[in-house]
Structure 1
Amino acid sequence: MRKTLTITYPADPTRTSAMLADPEYHKTRVSRVGLEDATIEVAPRGQGFVASLSGSVDPSSLPAVAAKIVRSGVSFTVTESWGEPAADGSRTGAYDIDVKGAPVRASATTSMAPQGETTVVTVDLDVSVTVPLVGKTIEEKAAGRIGAAVADEEARAAAWLASH
């Protein structure tokens, strides 16, 4: 499944990038999904940065159709990387998503650009669930949750930016 997402942050790219490079902000992202064993690491890379989140998800937290296939926990690492800023603050980046314990492959390319007083991040996501007969159903269930995740990200970011 391929899907393009748009996330709007209420700040310029410099403030948005600083937020995305802050480990404390990533802790708010982790709290969204209730991961208790998450590990967060953020490291500079030139004028860009790399943020990695590792953890595991209990099968009971998965959609019912996925929980039937996954018998034990699913461990994952999500690596968000952003390159150096252009003169206008825009950047390109990527998400690399490594999932162990489930037949899932996911990755994304990203771009960040100023738009007036905001920053728009475009995420071109590619997710594949390789399970005969039900793989597409699982992909559709995941796609159904994306809108809520984007809305939550925008709300958390707005609150973070207002308080920092």
Structure 2
Amino acid sequence: MELKLSASYDATPEEVFAIVTDTTFREQACEKTKALSYDVQVSQSGGDTVVRVKREMPADDVPDIGKRFVGPTLTVVQTETWHPAKPDGSRDADVSGEIANTPVTLKGTAAIRSDGGQTVQAIDLDVKVNVPLIGRKMEPFVVDAIRSGLAKEHDLGRDWAAGNH
């Protein structure tokens, strides 16, 4: 199931990239999404910047149909590989993720682009729940949970862009 989400910031592409690759920002995003525990790693690989976020989340909102697959918590692992800036400051990233020990995976792209006086961060993901018969029924719940988390992260990013952190 496809998930597309974007957010606009009153900042330059360079400033938005600095925010989304900041360890403290990512840790605050984990706290804002009610992670029970988390591990944030930002590293360099060649010319790429790799952001890996692992967070343990309560499984309270998992529908009954999926509870037998997940247990009381979910361990969500997300990796963004941000490629070097283009001449206009825009950037692209490859995004992958999973909910550990479940049949849930996500794969897609993220982008940071200048748009007039603002910068847009866009995410385009394909979310899969690889379980025969019920996978398609579970995907909307997973997508809604991811969308909710990303919206909270975007709100925090806007706060950071405004200097509030």
**If the length of structure 2 is used for normalisation, what is the TM-score?**
0.85
Compute the RMSD of aligned alpha carbons: 2.2
Greater alpha carbon shift after TM alignment, 61-70 vs 90-99: 61-70
Q: Which amino acid aligns with 1:59?
A: A
- The CA distance in 2 between the partners of 1:147 and 1:56, in whole Å, is 17
Whether 2:131 is the aligned partner of 1:128: answer: no
Aligned partner of 1:96 in structure 2 is 96
Question: Do 2:34 and 2:57's aligned partners in 1 also have CA atoms closer than 8 Å?
Answer: no
Unpaired stretches in structure 2, ≥5 consecutive residues: none
Corresponding pairs, count: 164
* Closer, same or farther: CA 152–58 of 1 in aligned 2, 3 Å: closer
* Closer, same or farther: CA 148–59 of 1 in aligned 2, 3 Å: closer
Taking only the aligned residue pairs, the percentage that are identical comes to: 24
1:47-86 deviation line (CA, Å, top 9, x unaligned): 5411111133343353443224323643332111211111
- The CA distance in 2 between the partners of 1:146 and 1:5, in whole Å, is 10
Unpaired stretches in structure 1, ≥5 consecutive residues: none
**If the length of structure 1 is used for normalisation, what is the TM-score?**
0.86
Superposition pairs for residues 113-124 of structure 1, below 5 Å? 113-124=113-124
Question: Do 1:97 and 1:106's aligned partners in 2 also have CA atoms closer than 8 Å?
Answer: yes
- The CA distance in 2 between the partners of 1:63 and 1:22, in whole Å, is 33
Q: Which amino acid aligns with 1:16?
A: V
Question: Do 2:16 and 2:112's aligned partners in 1 also have CA atoms closer than 8 Å?
Answer: no
